[in-house]
Amino acid sequence: MRAVFKSMAFIAAVSGVSACAGVDAPSVSTAGMPGALEPIHAAAFTKDAAVFWVSSNGCTRKEDLIPIVSIKGADAVITLRRIDEDTCKEPLIDGVELKWSFEELGLAPGSPVSVNNPYQLPQT
């Protein structure tokens, strides 16, 4: 299952990168948002959940990041921000999977969403 998700996530990441090729700035202003803009390895969406893969030094938990939802036109734009640093010393090559339900994000199931974060390939 993990391999299937990683393949789907990679496709989502590549699709997002190619759709945004040449765009350096996030699509929604991040001025005034808490924490730091978090580069992501991949993002995937189901009808009622948003799943992200982010880098981790071994201690990253869901509580260390905050998803900020902005509305742009008819779409929701999710900006993932790191609010607590991961100070552990054992980097996880694949990073970690973090999941938020659309209910947690204040979104209706099936809402159209996009990601405001830059993509970063995992370290090899």
95 falls within a domain: yes
3 falls within a domain: no
* pTM (predicted TM-score): 0.75
Parts of the chain with a pLDDT under 50: 1-25
26 falls within a domain: no
103 falls within a domain: yes
Q: Cα separations (Å) of 91 from 21, 40, 58, 86, 97? A: 28, 15, 5, 10, 14
pLDDT at site 11: 38
5 falls within a domain: no
Domain count, the chain: 1
pLDDT at site 26: 52
β-strand 36-37 against 75-82: which pairing, if any? antiparallel
6 falls within a domain: no
DSSP 8-state code for residue 41: E
- Domain housing 88: 36-115
